[in-house]
A and B are shown apart, each in its own frame.
Chain A
């Protein structure tokens, strides 16, 4: 499968625990995005990378959230001290950005559904 893959697909955790999600983008894509989505809402931007550089992080994002893309390939999203309000679908997407400043469409993984109890 050459699409975007995310792991795990589902995660149930107790409040206060740390969780980490992984995303493997399409191999030739240099941009990788993380979004959070709750029922009835569109995907909310969290952060994105170009290769290994984290270019932007949402101002709304708590310090409990951190993301890495150490080798410019896969990425991890960690949430520390989870709260019930963190329960959501976490979506990863990747795209190819060219030096001419054009961005191809983003392809999404199937998401990781987090439930904090």
Chain B
């Protein structure tokens, strides 16, 4: 089993749609969680951290379920500029940060 698994995608949605990405992780002792965004041929950049209580940043909402070892990202009212690859990142206890394979999102007019 992969350490971090994401929805394979790709997701093609119209502007204004709501889209959700899911991610599971294998190490139950994982300590911190993030969503990163990566544009084509660019380095990954932090989108948001994920907290146990869930957190929201504008149109973006992240959720963490430790019992199920599951992380989600919800994007509401999607914009053309949201088109990118979204990477789930897990910091595993005693180990380095692990990335999922990424889910590609394309928002169309």
Q: Which residues of A contact B (CB under 8 A)?
A: 33, 35, 41-45, 47-48, 55-56, 91, 93, 95, 101-103, 105-111
Taken residue by residue from 62 to 106, chain B's Cβ proximity to chain A (1 for < 8 Å, 0 otherwise) reads as: 000000000000000000000000010101011111111110000
A103:B91 contact, CB within 8 angstroms: yes
**Which residues on the A side are within 8 Å of B102 (C-beta)?**
41-42
Contact, CB under 8 Å: A103 / B101: no
Tell me the count of chain B residues lying within 8 A, CB to CB, of chain A. Answer: 23
Q: Do A103 and B32 contact each other (CB < 8 Å), given the known contacts A43-B44, A108-B43, A108-B44?
A: yes
For the complex, give the distance between the alpha carbons of A101 and B29 in Å. 12
12 further contact pairs, Cβ within 8 A, besides A41-B102, A103-B31: A33-B97, A42-B102, A44-B99, A45-B96, A56-B96, A91-B43, A95-B97, A101-B93, A102-B32, A106-B34, A106-B46, A110-B43
Chain A interface helix/strand/loop/mixed: strand
Tell me which of B32, B34, B87 has the highest count of chain A C-beta atoms within 10 A of its own C-beta.
Answer: B32
Closest to A105 in B: B46
Asked whether B96 lies within 8 Å of A111 as measured between CB atoms, the reply is no
